[in-house]
Amino acid sequence: MTISREGTNLDPWYGHYAERTAGLSASEVRALFAVASRPEVVSLAGGMPAVSALPLDTVAASMERVMTERGPAALQYGSGQGTPELREHILEIMALEGIRAGVDDVVVTTGSQQALDLVAKLFLNPGDVVIAESPSYVGAMGIFRSYQSEVAHVPMDDDGMIPHALTERIASLRAAGRSIKLLYLIPNFHNPAGVTLSAERRLEILDIARKNDILIIEDNPYGLLWFDRPAPQAMRSVDDEGIVYLGSFSKTFAPGFRVGWALAPHAIREKLVLAAESAILSPSSLNQMIISDYLDRADWRGQVDVFRGLYRERRDAMLDALDHYLPDLTWTVPNGGFYVWLTLPSGLDSKGMLPRAVKELVAYTPGTAFYADGSGREALRLAFCYPEADQVREGVRRLATVVRSETELLQTFSPTGPIETVHRPHASAPAPQSEPLHPAERGPR
């Protein structure tokens, strides 16, 4: 037992941990799962795919076929880089977004989360800086923090990261003597903001990164899940040296298989394989073979279309419900993916409001989860991917009850009078010259 002036720590090994463990903390998203999984709660919190829409008999047939025909190989250790057959399929998938590469350029990983962890392990020293959008993916920030690096946010608007703000951020960090190692982007149907980086800005940001010798991580789990029109082609399609591209089967097939990949320049790829072998020896041969069999035999493109239609219906249900129940607020309008980013009335705190929302049997993710410095209390992420459309509408109705109650309470006790609904730049980011994140397609909210 460790006794200090701050109190008692019941972990007998507390004083033995490496310094980097100080960066390990519970994800606000993961912490919500226990509550959100209760059947009476409408969860608009977690980005869980609608796996019930998969042809489960077809998946089961692939599992049975692999075990019957290739069982011993499927249950054995495999290559640290992944099976050649699955890597060939991955090339076919990436070609849909304009990427041309060779099978040797792909490294299969245990989900794209592991790929991101491996890249961070290869590049980040304590005190290094990773530049990311404002807001950014909570799982990525957890990884960067675990390697004792700092996340520096750059503001976004409806067209994604703002290039001139990125240039200013790089200049200010360099002037302060900081080492910038990575630029982390989710260009398509961003998690959590739901916006898409425009084609023009992709080229601008690539040019900025090249001039400043910064490696880009292009994290693209949602790219094929577009609704009304495809996203611009991948940044990796026009630059094969300055980008590590991350992909995943979790959103377009099933997260339970835990299979993702990294497409990296040659020298980085070699180190990724060595790092992966050091961490896990090899990704699951069984899971790779099942996915390869499914991609060989099933109409996987048609299944992606099924997911698009399902998620489009649920997005529309959320947007209609927001229009009906919370017409005075602002939110983003995604053209794909899983998420809507909602801005609350001034003075409301999405994190502080969450327990009262759960009491009303609805869950969301507070905006604070998506900022390295805990900013974002004025916003929250709503996921429309998992509940059915009528549940999405009911969840928004319950949320509106909470928002109205909190607003009335704040107005009652506010010394400055009525609360105004405003949209403010994100507090953690440098002030942008153009409009901050706001709805572009459906008028005032």
> Tell me, what CATH number does 330's domain have?
3.90.1150.10
Strand partners, 246: 219, 262
pLDDT of residue 305: 97
* Residue where a domain terminates, one of 297, 332, 367: 297
CATH number at residue 73: 3.40.640.10
Using the predicted structure, report yes or no on whether residue 237 has a pLDDT greater than 50: yes
Q: Are residues 229 and 344 in the same domain?
A: no
Q: Are residues 211 and 257 in the same domain?
A: yes
Mean pLDDT, range 315-326, rounded to an integer: 98
Q: Are residues 286 and 308 in the same domain?
A: no
Mean pLDDT, range 123-148, rounded to an integer: 96
Q: Are residues 264 and 384 in the same domain?
A: no
Q: Are residues 216 and 235 in the same domain?
A: yes
pLDDT digits (tens, 9 = 90+) for 360-415: 999 999 999 999 998 999 999 999 999 999 999 999 999 999 999 999 888 887 65
What is the band of 27 on the pLDDT scale with cuts at 50, 70, 90? low
Mean pLDDT, range 71-89, rounded to an integer: 95
Q: Is residue 349 part of a domain?
A: yes
Query: Of all residues in the chain, what percent carry a pLDDT higher than 90?
Result: 81
Mean pLDDT, range 122-147, rounded to an integer: 96
Contact 157, 432 (CB under 8 A): yes
Q: Which helix (H) or strand (E) holds 276?
A: helix 266-280
Q: Is residue 162 part of a domain?
A: yes
pLDDT of residue 418: 46
* Residue where a domain terminates, one of 273, 297, 321: 297
Q: Are residues 201 and 290 in the same domain?
A: yes
Using the predicted structure, report yes or no on whether residue 214 has a pLDDT greater than 60: yes
Cα-to-chain-centroid distance, residue 290? 25
Question: For residue 129, what are the domain limits?
Answer: 57-297
Q: Are residues 260 and 177 in the same domain?
A: yes
Q: What's the token pair of residue 16?
A: 């033995």
Q: What's the token pair of residue 167?
A: 């240039």
What is the band of 423 on the pLDDT scale with cuts at 50, 70, 90? very low
pLDDT of residue 106: 97
What is the band of 10 on the pLDDT scale with cuts at 50, 70, 90? confident
* Residue where a domain terminates, one of 297, 325, 343: 297
Tokens 């109705």 correspond to: 397
The mean of the pLDDT values for the chain is 89
- Number of domains, the chain: 2
Q: Are residues 224 and 333 in the same domain?
A: no
Sheet with 330-331, strands from edge to edge, namely 330-331, 339-343, 379-383, 365-366
Q: Is residue 8 part of a domain?
A: no
pLDDT of residue 371: 96
What is the band of 428 on the pLDDT scale with cuts at 50, 70, 90? very low
Q: Are residues 237 and 92 in the same domain?
A: yes
pLDDT of residue 341: 98
Least confident of 3-17, 59-73, 380-394: 3-17
pLDDT of residue 26: 63
Q: Are residues 216 and 110 in the same domain?
A: yes
Helices (H), 285-326: 285-297, 300-325
Mean pLDDT, range 171-193, rounded to an integer: 98
pLDDT of residue 160: 97
Least confident of 55-59, 124-128, 341-345, 421-425: 421-425
Query: Of all residues in the chain, what percent carry a pLDDT higher than 70?
Result: 88
Q: Are residues 61 and 38 in the same domain?
A: no
Q: Is residue 348 part of a domain?
A: yes
Query: What Rg do the C-alpha atoms of the chain give, in angstroms?
Result: 22
Q: Are residues 274 and 311 in the same domain?
A: no
Using the predicted structure, report yes or no on whether residue 73 has a pLDDT greater than 90: yes
What is the band of 137 on the pLDDT scale with cuts at 50, 70, 90? very high
Using the predicted structure, report yes or no on whether residue 334 has a pLDDT greater than 60: yes
Contact 220, 246 (CB under 8 A): yes
